[in-house]
A and B are shown apart, each in its own frame.
Chain A
Amino acid sequence: MTLRSITLWGVRVLEGLTAIALLALMAIVLVDVVGRNGWNHPLPWAAEILEIILAASIFLFLPVLAIRGGHVTVDLIELPTMARVQQVLSGLIGAIVFGSVTWALARHTSRVAEFDEVTPLLGIPLPWIFGGLTALAALTVLLSLAWAVCHLWRGCTPLADAAKPEDLL
């Protein structure tokens, strides 16, 4: 397997997991509302798990955006000669921003691990949750750097899929 096919495979796994997270988000809200209004049996822990799934759905997709250069970019001024410099800069800045997020999450993980904190209702261990988010943020940093390196080295074809503002709202 080449590095490229491994990356593509990884992207598909992350996309699939995010798709499942979205369906779960919808399903839990539905069951909660129907249960509360129909049978007077809401899911008391719905809000707790929904917030975790929302965070998961975001962090699972951040690495995909990083390796595809998929964040929203404004291309008002076309500078063909600078194109590579711009991409390298974007990769490095992405690595710094998500580096700070990784650092913050890692520090928070070690704090909640120290006191073995759990979520109030379901008792899910917080170190698992924040540890998972830290790993995904770290993967985002790694892939942002990979994006920068790939644009430095001529032999590399990036998995480009840059988003324009029109992909957004």
Chain B
Amino acid sequence: MTLALLAFLAAFALIFFQVPIALGLGFVGLMGYILLNDTTAAISMVMAVTRDVTMSYPLIVLPLFILMGNLVAGSGVSYDLFRAAQAVLGRRKGGVAMATVLTAGGFSAICGSSVATAATVGRVAIPDMRRLGYSDGLSSASVAAGGTLGILIPPSVLLVVYGVATQTHIGMLFAAGMIPGLVGVLGYFIAVKWTIWRKPDSAPAVMESDPTPKARLILSLWPVLAIFGLVMSGIYSGWFTTVEASGIGAAASLVYALSRHSVRGPQLYHILVDTAKTSCMMFAIILGAAIFGELINQTGIHHALMAMVNADGMSPFWVITIMLLIYLVIGCVLESLSILLLTIPIFFPVIVALGFDPVWFGIVVVVVVEIGLITPPIGVNLFVIRSVVPDIPMSRIVLGVIPFVVVDLFRLALVALVPALSLWLPYALFPGGQ
């Protein structure tokens, strides 16, 4: 126990001294392992981990889903999504902010990442909202919060990593994210309404409407629906696996992006290199966290934790509550992939031993990690907004996002307390379970 805590302390110290997350974790893991065993054992461990992480068939999904999201983002489909969402919701007060949330939700269906969602939707929606007279706070907050749906509504890169790390069925995890994701969209609608109720001048009164017929705007979204439909129906019909779905999705997005003439040779190359970079950074973190995880496993902290839970007779409800509080605190200072990889080796065995459903826990973890994306000081999506619109001060973004965080906390409680919200759909699609 003490050893594990020391390891965490050392890793956090390095990370806050601005040593890259991947390297800090890998270094502490390596040194700890050498101290506990010897160099030969440590090198064998590094070899096994390197092979498991970099030559992992299920993890092929990561670069391919990232590529799919980047290609679709590059194709400019977010403009169509935003126009259609505006046509449906835009005329009421606060409607464009809601349309932004809906656009983010729709974009999440073809993009597995929060940052890509927030960046893509932000580029389209924030300038429009500001032009129409929406306050900076509401404009930026609806994009930052809406972007978090990217890792909940399938496909989701984070759910893939959770699935691989815990050997949970990825198709079931994707299905489980659907309803909580839609609840998230509704929750953010409430946050928009709430913001306007508190500060009526944060949104203009009446909006001009797009003369194009609604039906035509909605029909123009068929490629998005087609790609999402292809990927998901393929997974659920058993026609292809998740890995294959990611390859098909990426290929379909490539064809779509090229057919729209918005992506040509140089842009395509840029998208590929960008995808390679994101994917390599993620694999580096997975590798570093896996080496660190080997050390943590050796300390046997999860056994100690389990013994503690049993000895105190702590109720499962409190165990989950404490875990969620820990997630909320770490969420303020670390990014989501590292949080997931650092906590899963410790928490997951406890969760399974207490008899909780691994699919349900995956969704709970992603929802709580999502909140971390929009809470300062390291709210990743807040920084994304800053890089899209550098002239909006951080303080205004943070103030604007508060109602969205509050709504999210309610959603977290809902998803945690009502497992049926996440579990009904996956068990309906996969009646036999795992």
Measured CB to CB, the residues of A under 8 A from B are: 15, 18-19, 21-23, 25-30, 32-33, 37, 47, 50-52, 54-55, 57-62, 64-65, 70-77, 79, 82, 86, 89-90, 93-94, 96-97, 100-101, 103-105, 107-108, 133, 163-169
Given contacts A29-B244, A90-B20, A105-B50, contact A100 B43 (CB under 8 A): yes
* B114 CB within 8 Å of chain A: yes
Q: How far is the CA of A47 from the CA of B254 in the complex (A)?
A: 22
Most-contacted residue by chain B among A37, A52, A60, A61 (CB, 10 A): A61
Distance from B382 Cβ to chain A, minimum over Cβ atoms (Å): 9
Across the interface, do B43 and A30 meet the contact criterion of CB distance under 8 Å? no
Distance from B336 Cβ to chain A, minimum over Cβ atoms (Å): 6
Across the interface, do A76 and B378 meet the contact criterion of CB distance under 8 Å? yes
Partner of B273, one of A19, A73, A168: A19
* Further contacts, 6 of them, CB under 8 A, given A18-B280, A58-B279, A74-B21: A25-B64, A29-B243, A54-B60, A93-B14, A97-B22, A97-B26
Of B51-59, B205-213, B219-227, which stretch is located at the interface? B51-59
Across the interface, do B60 and A25 meet the contact criterion of CB distance under 8 Å? yes
Across the interface, do A169 and B114 meet the contact criterion of CB distance under 8 Å? yes
Measured CB to CB, the residues of B under 8 A from A are: 14-24, 26-27, 30, 42-44, 46-47, 50-51, 54-57, 59-60, 63-64, 67, 113-116, 150-151, 157-158, 239-240, 243-244, 246-248, 250-251, 254, 269, 272-273, 275-285, 287-288, 291, 333-337, 377-378, 380-381, 383-384, 387
Name the CB-closest residue of B to A161: B277
Across the interface, do B281 and A32 meet the contact criterion of CB distance under 8 Å? no
Distance from A20 Cβ to chain B, minimum over Cβ atoms (Å): 8
Given contacts A25-B64, A58-B54, A73-B19, contact A93 B251 (CB under 8 A): no
Distance from B58 Cβ to chain A, minimum over Cβ atoms (Å): 10
Across the interface, do B55 and A52 meet the contact criterion of CB distance under 8 Å? yes
Partner of B47, one of A30, A54, A75, A104: A104
Across the interface, do B27 and A76 meet the contact criterion of CB distance under 8 Å? no
Across the interface, do B281 and A65 meet the contact criterion of CB distance under 8 Å? yes
Across the interface, do B57 and A166 meet the contact criterion of CB distance under 8 Å? no
Q: How far is the CA of A76 from the CA of B285 in the complex (A)?
A: 18
Q: How far is the CA of A51 from the CA of B52 in the complex (A)?
A: 10
Partner of A19, one of B239, B272, B380: B272
Given contacts A29-B60, A165-B335, A169-B158, contact A72 B20 (CB under 8 A): yes
* A82 cross-chain contacts in B, Cβ below 8 A: 17
Could you show 26 A-B contacts with beta carbons less than 8 Å apart? A18-B276, A26-B254, A28-B247, A29-B64, A29-B246, A51-B60, A54-B55, A54-B63, A55-B55, A57-B280, A71-B23, A72-B21, A72-B285, A74-B16, A76-B377, A77-B18, A97-B288, A100-B30, A100-B43, A104-B43, A104-B44, A108-B51, A165-B380, A166-B387, A167-B278, A168-B285
Across the interface, do B115 and A169 meet the contact criterion of CB distance under 8 Å? yes
Q: How far is the CA of A21 from the CA of B246 in the complex (A)?
A: 15
Across the interface, do A29 and B333 meet the contact criterion of CB distance under 8 Å? no
* A104 cross-chain contacts in B, Cβ below 8 A: 43-44, 46-47, 50
* A163 cross-chain contacts in B, Cβ below 8 A: 277, 281
Q: How far is the CA of A62 from the CA of B313 in the complex (A)?
A: 47
Q: How far is the CA of A107 from the CA of B39 in the complex (A)?
A: 13
Name the CB-closest residue of B to A19: B272
Q: How far is the CA of A124 from the CA of B337 in the complex (A)?
A: 34
* A18 cross-chain contacts in B, Cβ below 8 A: 272-273, 276, 280
Distance from B154 Cβ to chain A, minimum over Cβ atoms (Å): 15
* B279 cross-chain contacts in A, Cβ below 8 A: 22, 57-58, 61
* B287 cross-chain contacts in A, Cβ below 8 A: 101
* B113 cross-chain contacts in A, Cβ below 8 A: 169
Across the interface, do A169 and B21 meet the contact criterion of CB distance under 8 Å? no
Across the interface, do B272 and A90 meet the contact criterion of CB distance under 8 Å? no
Across the interface, do B275 and A50 meet the contact criterion of CB distance under 8 Å? no
Partner of A168, one of B24, B251, B291, B380: B380
Name the CB-closest residue of A to B285: A72
* B247 cross-chain contacts in A, Cβ below 8 A: 25-26, 28-30, 33
Given contacts A57-B63, A65-B284, contact A169 B335 (CB under 8 A): yes
Across the interface, do A74 and B335 meet the contact criterion of CB distance under 8 Å? yes
Distance from A86 Cβ to chain B, minimum over Cβ atoms (Å): 5
Name the CB-closest residue of A to B118: A166
Q: How far is the CA of A167 from the CA of B119 in the complex (A)?
A: 10
Across the interface, do B22 and A72 meet the contact criterion of CB distance under 8 Å? yes
Distance from A106 Cβ to chain B, minimum over Cβ atoms (Å): 10
Partner of B337, one of A73, A79, A169: A169
* B384 cross-chain contacts in A, Cβ below 8 A: 166
Partner of A101, one of B50, B63, B243, B337: B50
Q: How far is the CA of A31 from the CA of B326 in the complex (A)?
A: 45
